[in-house]
Structure 1
């Protein structure tokens, strides 16, 4: 503004001199037409006008020269500050330490007459901006701006986020929506720190009340801000790479642990299945040999056939368990609309009568249908109901309670409770292991509960068991709600 006023002033003087010279030139021409010489009264204004024009030209030249010198000095100072900031970026690998050191560089440069109070906001994961580095800011302000944080449009800093422009205020005015008790009047600059139009942070500098906006100061601050943005972007990219590397390493470790686990399970699986399949087959072959050679009495033949049926049934159970295990491991999870009551009825019909004794079923199905893997859900129901039947107490009628409901906003709950033999407390932590049998007399292949646990895990759920020996057992399963 001062430059413009000065130029207008000079132009006005030059116009006055020009008009004066034109006027006297006309007068001189008139005099020449009537006299043979020039009088001092005529020549003096011309000389004075020329001298004044020369003087004013020199004044204008000197003023421009001084301004150019000031610009050169200012540019050198900006360059020096930028170089110092870039040197800081090579000395520290942590953004907050870098910003704290940058504050010292800005204060030392003395390019702007500061309060001196200043700070840097950075964007946090929750989208709010919080002060991460500062100098001389009050505890009251830090409680608001460093802990609570600010959002887009809130106070002057929030306006910077909204407009992506440098803002100036020469006093505390209506734009200052954040106030606290004891806050003194002040002026300040609020400068966006941007990279590719993305706000990474805000630089706020406190000034004395009444400090006017200066374009040279704004140029300095925005130059510094641009360099800071480049350095912060580099830090953030490196941090993202570090996080990605850690994530990949954790995934590799997890996959390696999973492979080790699977290999151990596979070794155990091959050994146990070969043994469990071979044993009943050898027993059946032996019994067939007795029948073939007619070495049994009539009353022994019926018992032998029953033993053969038991052996074949065990073999069938083992093969079924192997197929369930293989399908759970290899088949892709397929979510589809599943009617819970219908699926439960289908499974119960497979086990409704055992040894001529009816099973008492208590159903509490609160949800009609859900999105789940129907095959896997059926396998869970089948294995748990089958276990209740296998480990029933012969002296009392078998009772099975089945409940399915919405547990919370994120999970369904399925529980199956029976009044069977129960499980010893020390065995509860082992029953989900592959081929685990609580005792040598335990029935089954030892895969059913292991498969249940693996299925629930694949469905991103969890399974729990509780029991009282000689009284009851209850399995509770939590599955995520899928929409």
Structure 2
């Protein structure tokens, strides 16, 4: 393979082709074609960096040629040769054939050389960027698959450890031995919770939206039942107010990521000796949008952390022993759903999170109408 810039030149006059090739063959690898059809055949089968075509060719104009070339091989950078009287063709070439530049006839050899070199620089820059993007997408895909598979593979052994620990506690009468197994259970629970967060991270950031109709009363009831099985909520009053006035559409799994992590934070960061621990969940929804408000009277967030709580691995308080993933995943899910989120907090008084989400059915309809 040559290291030279490969130039395809199309012109219906044989003398022009020979002159072009003789003038540039030392600096560039020049391929010529007498017809636009021949040029398209070459561009479809060979590596070409820059294509130069005359506007006035029988059968197919330069603009028409570049339009067809865009469909066959859009990578080469395109240059049009034209006269001053062809200004309308130049405009068409820029609009329809995405021509990089045009050169007036009769062309100057030095001008053509500079144009080819500049065009080739764009070609190689784009190619490098395309190659890097493809490698990046491959890495991201492999990493996503690795995280997803790893999370599933880890849960199996964890469940086995938990089952064996429960059996051992049932058979052992020694308090100190049972204490050791309680410590094992505590550690496995934390690891299992972290695996769930990894899966939520995957759902929140890597999976495309799957739009379904949302019935908030049903979802909240399901989630609260799950929360009561996961945490001891006997000392926490949960006040729920759902007012849904119309059908609402969004991604169910991302919505549950939002609900889960906001409730988890409201539950985990209560003031330990507070006899009136409370979590308020308010949902107001119509066919256009939904407003979700999560409020608690917990330990709150220090001002120094408030502006950073949505950053990856940023813990909300000095007392936090969490992963630093929760609020990041909430923010990512809200962003993926086209919404907005804000947070207010006062230390030892509590935290309020406000979320606005548009109906994705409405958003898709508006997008289609705009097009």
- The TM-score, its normalising length taken from structure 2, stands at 0.51
Q: How many residues align structurally? A: 237
Unpaired segments of 5 or more residues in structure 1? 1-225
1:313 is aligned to: 189
1:374 is aligned to: 252
Determine if contact 1:321/1:447 at 8 Å carries over to the other structure: yes
Unpaired segments of 5 or more residues in structure 2? 1-84, 102-121, 363-371
Three-state SS of the structure 1 residue aligned to 2:214 is strand
Three-state SS of the structure 2 residue aligned to 1:357 is coil
Between the aligned partners of 1:479 and 1:239, the Cα distance in structure 2 is 39
Deviation per CA, 1:399-450: give whole Å up to 9, x if none.
222222359x964322211111111112123222333334575243332222
Determine if contact 1:340/1:369 at 8 Å carries over to the other structure: no
Three-state SS of the structure 2 residue aligned to 1:315 is helix
2:301 is aligned to: 423
Instruction: Indicate which of 332, 336, 340 corresponds to 1:454.
Output: 332
Residue 317 of structure 1 and its aligned partner are, at CA, apart by: 0.4
Three-state SS of the structure 2 residue aligned to 1:453 is helix
2:72 is aligned to: none
Deviation per CA, 1:277-316: give whole Å up to 9, x if none.
9xxx8xx99xx8xx99xxx994434433332222121011
2:207 is aligned to: 331
Instruction: Indicate which of 278, 300, 303 corresponds to 2:179.
Output: 303
2:16 is aligned to: none
Deviation per CA, 1:146-185: give whole Å up to 9, x if none.
xxxxxxxxxxxxxxxxxxxxxxxxxxxxxxxxxxxxxxxx
Between the aligned partners of 1:384 and 1:240, the Cα distance in structure 2 is 52
The equivalences for 1:56-455 within 5 A come to: 230=89, 233=92, 298-352=174-228, 354=232, 356-396=234-274, 397-406=276-285, 411-438=289-316, 441-455=319-333
> Could you say which structure has the larger radius of gyration?
1
Deviation per CA, 1:426-475: give whole Å up to 9, x if none.
21232223333345752433322222222222222232222111111112
Between the aligned partners of 2:100 and 2:290, the Cα distance in structure 1 is 38
Distance 1:423 1:301, change over 3 A: same
Three-state SS of the structure 2 residue aligned to 1:383 is helix
Between the aligned partners of 2:288 and 2:98, the Cα distance in structure 1 is 33
Residue 347 of structure 1 and its aligned partner are, at CA, apart by: 0.9
Distance 1:338 1:406, change over 3 A: closer
Determine if contact 1:461/1:477 at 8 Å carries over to the other structure: yes
The equivalences for 1:12-51 within 5 A come to: none
Between the aligned partners of 2:260 and 2:86, the Cα distance in structure 1 is 66
Distance 1:398 1:369, change over 3 A: farther
Instruction: Indicate which of 349, 362, 370 corresponds to 1:471.
Output: 349
1:89 is aligned to: none
Residue 238 of structure 1 and its aligned partner are, at CA, apart by: 7.9
Between the aligned partners of 1:330 and 1:435, the Cα distance in structure 2 is 18
Between the aligned partners of 1:468 and 1:459, the Cα distance in structure 2 is 28
2:11 is aligned to: none
Determine if contact 1:462/1:479 at 8 Å carries over to the other structure: yes
Between the aligned partners of 1:388 and 1:479, the Cα distance in structure 2 is 20
Residue 389 of structure 1 and its aligned partner are, at CA, apart by: 0.5
Ranked by relative contact order (alpha carbons within 8 Å, sequence separation 6 or more), the top structure is 2
Residue 390 of structure 1 and its aligned partner are, at CA, apart by: 0.8
Residue 392 of structure 1 and its aligned partner are, at CA, apart by: 1.0
Distance 1:430 1:378, change over 3 A: same
Residue 377 of structure 1 and its aligned partner are, at CA, apart by: 0.9
Residue 363 of structure 1 and its aligned partner are, at CA, apart by: 1.3
